[in-house]
Amino acid sequence: MVKTRNTGNEGELAVSSRDGTPSNSIKSPETVKDSPKVKAPNNDISILRVSGLVFFFLVYGFVFSLIGLYVLPLEANALFPADPSSALSIMFILTGGPMLLGPLFGKVSDESKFKMGRRRPFIIIGTAVSSFALVGMSSASYANMGNLYLLFLLFTMVFLQLITNAQHALLPDFVPKHRQGEISGMVAIMELLGSSLGFVYIFLFYDAPIETAYVVFITLLLASLPISCFAANEIPGTQSLEWKSPSDSETGALMRDDGTYDQGYSEVPARELSTRNTFCGIPILSLREIIYCYYLDWGPRNRDFNFVFISRFLYNLAISVQIFFLYFIRDMAGAKTENEQKIYMAACALTAQCVAASIALPMGKVSDLFGRKYLIYLSASIMCATYFLFSVHDFQSYPGPLASLIIIGVIYGIGNGSFLAVDTALALDVLPDKEEAAKAMGIWTTSGFLSVMLGPTLWFLCMKYGGKSPEGHYNALGYQIMMAAASLCVIGAAVAVSSVKRSHKGTYWKNIGSQVEDTYE
């Protein structure tokens, strides 16, 4: 049990270890700064370590884009030839459903007690089991055993979610607040690059055996494991403590007398650590605690996080209109043949992905300098303009359907890249309790799942209301209603963010304020 007491020295806290014996005192950043014996910590990490922390998201983007666009449709046709559409629907449910386990996995990770730390054991376990399950998927596919394939697919997705949760939680554990915009941009780049590589794989290896894809998945997962574990040099068996600086809310590391620092942080004062029962280092949760993992508390500490959750849900709901994009190319852009439709779609999608990836990191750094909200407002404006162009542009006029799609793809990429650049950073800014970062990030990721589940139904109703032509194609009215509704969702996302009070305001404005104060002094 950790106990704290006032030592009588300003800015110093005496901490007792879990067994009640006194340990070295922990000094506040102000005490460290004023001490002649030690240097104040710069509370920063190298770009190499940051790259290691976000590398997994490249694997994540590649695996999920290739599975959704290529692997599952082929496997549904091969394993369930009688009803491939129903089989594909079940496969997508098994792929997205495990995202709902994110908050529970996060809670377990936050309160686990392993010698390797709170995150790395789950990355290792998740990588081992998901790799084994991918071998099972490949074997079931080769043996034409459809039901067994579905079982291994479920196992793969559950343990990939376990890895993803731990990886997301590493970001607030290690990254100081003044660089969270940069790290958010790098996460976006990795995910976009991974999904783009998925497109490239389809173009280069479309005639290769499907088993090749599973080999690539396993290779990438095993390669990301040592990179993540070495980058995340967690302090074994510890839980970090920090009090909030009276001057601002920026992250400040705590320095022990032996010269080491706690990288994690929390907005609450030093508190007692959990004494719950564990099994092999894994906390034993009650049913009430499991249910509470999915509860959005609207108290003052959780309010901002809930608005970020709503914003992300609405934004992902808006961009889920892309499921009808192939039909849009057929009906509005005039692509007659299936091959022509695929070329148009690939050209527009790759253009948008590359543009978004190229601006994500610069935009993330801009948000560190000027604040997060401006990027969300910019993104919402550009996305609304994009949907308006999709609604009213005559693709048969100059400069032609393909060139028009590429131009609009560039605009879409700028808007999407601006949002993705601060997507993760916003969540990290407003975590209710940074000692429960994994649970909070698990809740945050479920917003994407909910939008994917609700979006197709909503947009189908819009298209159905617009009706079909005698040839069986959707009318322009349906697309216009769908794009207008998507614009309203994007506007709603911006409005939700405008209600957030604790987002990073930007170091530029802080420096300006300091200069003004110095002038008056």
Model pLDDT for residues 136-169, shown as the tens digit of each residue: 999 999 999 999 999 999 999 999 999 999 999 8
Whole-angstrom CA distances from 132 to 217, 317, 444 are: 11, 33, 28
Which pair of tokens denotes residue 128?
Answer: 């081992």
Q: Grade residue 276 by pLDDT with cuts at 50, 70 and 90.
A: low
Q: What is the pLDDT of residues 371-409, one digit of tens each?
A: 899 999 999 999 999 999 999 999 988 888 999 999 999
Question: What's the average model confidence in pLDDT over 227-237?
Answer: 79
Q: Could you give the CA distance from residue 92 to residue 86 in angstroms, rounded to a whole number?
A: 10
Please name every residue paired with 256 in a beta bridge, in sequence order, or none if there are none.
26
Question: What's the average model confidence in pLDDT over 472-481?
Answer: 91
Which pair of tokens denotes residue 463?
Answer: 């298209």
DSSP 468: B
Q: Grade residue 350 by pLDDT with cuts at 50, 70 and 90.
A: confident
Does the reported pTM lie above 0.85? Answer: no
Own/partner contacts of 141-148, CB < 8 Å, gap of 24 or more, are 141/75, 141/78, 141/79, 141/210, 141/211, 141/214, 142/211, 144/78, 144/79, 145/79, 146/79, 146/80, 146/87
Return the higher-pLDDT residue of 308 and 301: 308
Query: Is it the case that residue 251 has pLDDT exceeding 50?
Result: no
Specify the pLDDT at position 311.
96
Question: What's the average model confidence in pLDDT over 424-444?
Answer: 87
R_g of the chain, CA atoms, integer Å: 25
Query: Is it the case that residue 228 has pLDDT exceeding 50?
Result: yes
**Contact in structure between 153 and 95 (CB atoms under 8 Å):** yes
